[in-house]
């Protein structure tokens, strides 16, 4: 695996149980690279992301991600793989029974952090990065959709991941808020973290151009603007 590659897939097949979703997938993601993953619903975007974070097993091909070999990945290692990456979902997935600070604290404790002062400093750091440093006391229901997604991005940054996997992160947001989230993700990418983002919002791709891969007819290939 190249020193600058966070992800390397070679001749990979993506399955949902016994159903072949994508075949012959070859992909490299380097440090600081921002890549879109587009395609119609059911084309395999989410299945590819789920394979990368260990939710779907790799059956065929070779895959290295964040220093892990997915061919040899056992169930007990999946939490350690996920600590090397941040995952952002369309529906935020914040814990509704605790405030923003405690949402982030829960993740730090679950990933092995012990020292209270360091945990507090880290929470303050990621909230500052996403422009939510005054919202730690708020409950999720008190936040707008855009604010909740900012907190979800802050959560993804807690363990300084090399890679962020974003599955339709603007799917539940209005156009203006979607652009704000894209500007935030772009800034994070410029800081050296790679981002692989599944989206169906082609207007964002035109406003924030990056390398774009398309899932179609069981394949993944480079998309040019006129074929989006």
Query: Average pLDDT of 175-197?
Result: 94
Q: Torsions phi, psi of 2, nearest 5?
A: -65, 150
Rounded Cα gap, residues 218 and 216, in angstroms: 5
Sign of CA dihedral 190, 220, 165, 201: positive
Tell me the whole-structure pTM to 2 decimals.
0.90
Query: Average pLDDT of 16-22?
Result: 91
Q: Cβ atoms within 10 A of the Cβ of 62, count? A: 15
Residue 78 Cα to chain centre, angstroms: 15
**pLDDT-based confidence at 3, cuts 50/70/90?**
low
Strands 194-198 and 85-88: unpaired
87: nearest Cα among 170, 176, 157, 184 = 157
Torsion of CA 187, 98, 133, 166, to 10 degrees: 0
Q: What is the pLDDT of residue 224?
A: 65
Tell the CATH topology of 95-160: ABC transporter ATPase like fold (1.20.1580)
Query: Average pLDDT of 198-223?
Result: 92
pLDDT in tens, 109-127: 988 899 999 999 999 999 9
pLDDT in tens, 35-63: 999 998 889 999 999 999 999 999 899 99
Q: Which two tokens stand for residue 10?
A: 């070679």
Q: Which two tokens stand for residue 176?
A: 């203006």
Domain residue extents for the chain: 1-84+161-228, 95-160
Query: Average pLDDT of 74-98?
Result: 90
Q: What is the pLDDT of residue 2?
A: 57
Over 90: is that where the pLDDT of 92 sits?
A: no
Question: Residues of the chain with pLDDT > 70: what percent?
Answer: 96
Give the architecture (CATH level 2) of 1-84+161-228. 3-Layer(aba) Sandwich (3.40)
Over 80: is that where the pLDDT of 182 sits?
A: yes
Q: What is the pLDDT of residue 93?
A: 87
């Amino acid at each position: 695996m190249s020193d600058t590659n966070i992800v390397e897939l070679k001749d990979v097949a993506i399955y949902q149980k016994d159903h072949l979703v994508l075949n012959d997938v070859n992909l490299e993601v380097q440090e600081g690279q921002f890549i879109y993953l587009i395609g119609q619903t059911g084309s395999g975007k989410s299945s590819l992301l789920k394979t990368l974070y260990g939710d779907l097993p790799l059956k065929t091909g070779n895959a290295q991600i964040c220093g892990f070999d997915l061919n040899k990945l056992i169930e007990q290692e999946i939490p350690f793989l996920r600590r090397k990456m941040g995952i952002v979902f369309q529906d935020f997935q914040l814990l509704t029974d605790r405030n923003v600070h405690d949402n982030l604290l829960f993740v730090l404790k679950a990933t092995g952090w012990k020292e209270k002062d360091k945990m507090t400093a880290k929470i303050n750091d990621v909230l500052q990065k996403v422009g939510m440093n005054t919202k730690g006391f708020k409950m999720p229901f008190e936040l707008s959709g855009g604010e909740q997604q900012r907190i979800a991005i802050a959560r993804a940054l807690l363990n300084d991941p090399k890679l962020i996997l974003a599955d339709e992160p603007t799917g539940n947001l209005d156009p203006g808020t979607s652009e704000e989230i894209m500007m935030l993700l772009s800034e994070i990418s410029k800081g050296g973290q790679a981002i692989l983002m599944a989206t169906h919002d082609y207007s964002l791709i035109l406003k924030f151009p990056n390398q774009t891969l398309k899932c179609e007819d069981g394949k993944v290939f480079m998309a040019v603007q006129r074929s989006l």
